[in-house]
Amino acid sequence: MSEDGRPRRPQPSNGRPRGGRGATEARRDVQRGPVRAVQPARRVAYDVLRAVSETDAYANLVLPPAIADARLSPQDAALATELTYGTLRRLGTYDAIIAAAADRSTDSIDPAVLDALRLAVHQLLATHVASHAAVNESVNLVATESGRGASSFANAVLRRITRESSEDWQERIESGARSDDERLALRSAHPVWVIRALRRALAAEGRGEELDALLDADNASPEVTLVALPGLAEPDEPRLPYAPTAFASPGGDPRRPVEATGGTVRVQDEGSQLVALALAGAAPIKTGERWLDLCAGPGGKTALLAAIARQHEATLEANEIVPVRARLVRKALRAVPGDVVVHEQDGRTLAASRPGEFDRILVDAPCTGLGALRRRPEARWRKSPADVAELVPLQVELLSSAVDALAPGGIVAYVTCSPHLAETTGVVKEVLRDRTDVVELDARAAIADVARSPIDLAEEGREGSGSAQLWPHRHGTDAMFLALLQRSSTGNHSSGKED
């Protein structure tokens, strides 16, 4: 692992195992003798891991079509899902074990071989898959992809790993840790900087002792949650405790109910539903209101807001700067009758061109995504503190621009799928610091008002802030942050600078 706790990204230029051969010789090696076909679920999992490693793909986007293309049975689909997400969640820990067993840095291992080893280690140390099956299938994978020389190397590494238990390997890699946080990083499969950010966010609520529970929740398989768009579909059973639109998937392919209802039922985390519902419920909706979803991709919250706007004869516009994501927004909106204009602009530019026009604005800002590590486990290994430093100025500018686009009395919801204090309360404080035309509403009360049952949202330690933070270990949702800012009818926007 690198100094910031992330697994080092292997480089193809130095990726061959010691004694390995080039691609041409590897192909000849495969041709010299038969290589048994790899079991379909493992093949799918491996292909997804390669896509994540090679192209920075997100597993949650790549895996479902891969399962469909392979025509996996429900049992094999479940296995492929567990192997993919389980491997990605504990990537840093598995890389440390592989490095110890191979007696070399993972940087020196061919990327295709390394992904096969990671997949095998997960099966050997974290599942009930028989050891011989995990080893044999993984060695076959390596032989198919990289030749028999590389497969001999993989076989030797995996045989060495099978000689010790998961607990023994964990103890071995932790013994080399340089600090308590580094030991916790290896045990919980979170980079050190992420652990420290989560600890600070919990401590801000007086809940620092819940760190272990949060890390465990990040490593648990999340329940698939569905949303029934208001006025267009009704939530099924079992209902979820908070969002009145939310219910649990009955199992199987979650795309089926989406397709069967034409999109009026969608896959969406309950926390995402709650923050959109809280914006809609923060004040009585008047006929003719104008709403804006400023950073709309991929469109889940947009569709929910569009359905609510339709019920109250409000008008919604959406904006998404990335064309591919803008197409996803339009696709999500097909299920909602009526026209929603989807712009493709920089949100700051769009908001600046529409001063004082909107009654409600959602700023679901680009963020590190540290609140959705259950669903996007690979994100923990891709992000770094530098990403926070780069994102915060953009978040501040988007929120400030959105406030300027509010009509008097209008409300903006600032949302991130990250609990990092710099991306959450830090951004809100920065925007409020020089403004006298904005007041912060009680986002906790707004969520409580729309929730079906009482919800425990911390008030301690937020220095008067009315923001709300959801947590995987407390609420079973992604760690969504919400702040609600209302533009007053009096007061001026002061930048704090002289002209």
Which residue numbers are catalytic? 417
Give the angle subtended at the CA of 57 by the CAs of 379 and 36, to the nearest 5°: 115
Segment holding 182, helix H or strand E: helix 180-188
Amino acid at 147: G
341 touches 313 (CB < 8 A): no
3-state class percentages of the chain: helix first, strand second, coil last, to nearest 5: 50, 10, 40
335 touches 229 (CB < 8 A): yes
Number of CB atoms found within 10 A of residue 13's CB: 6
Antiparallel, parallel or unpaired: β 225-228 and 246-248:
antiparallel
Amino acid at 310: R
Number of CB atoms found within 10 A of residue 281's CB: 14
In our burial notation (b when 16+ CB lie closer than 10 A, e otherwise), range 70-89 reads: bebeeebbebbbbbbbbbbb
Spatial separation of the C-alpha atoms in residues 153 and 139, rounded to whole Å? 9
Find out whether the peptide bond into 254 is cis, omega within 30 degrees of 0: no
Tokens standing for 122? Answer: 């997960």
Antiparallel, parallel or unpaired: β 290-293 and 265-267:
unpaired
142 touches 151 (CB < 8 A): yes
Give the angle subtended at the CA of 270 by the CAs of 280 and 218, to the nearest 5°: 135
268 touches 299 (CB < 8 A): no
Number of CB atoms found within 10 A of residue 477's CB: 27
Number of CB atoms found within 10 A of residue 105's CB: 13
Q: What is the CA radius of gyration of the chain?
A: 24
Tokens standing for 138? Answer: 């993984």
Q: Classify residue 39 by its DSSP letter.
A: P
Please return the burial class of 454, using the count of CB atoms within 10 Å of its CB with bins 0-12, 13-18 and 19+: exposed
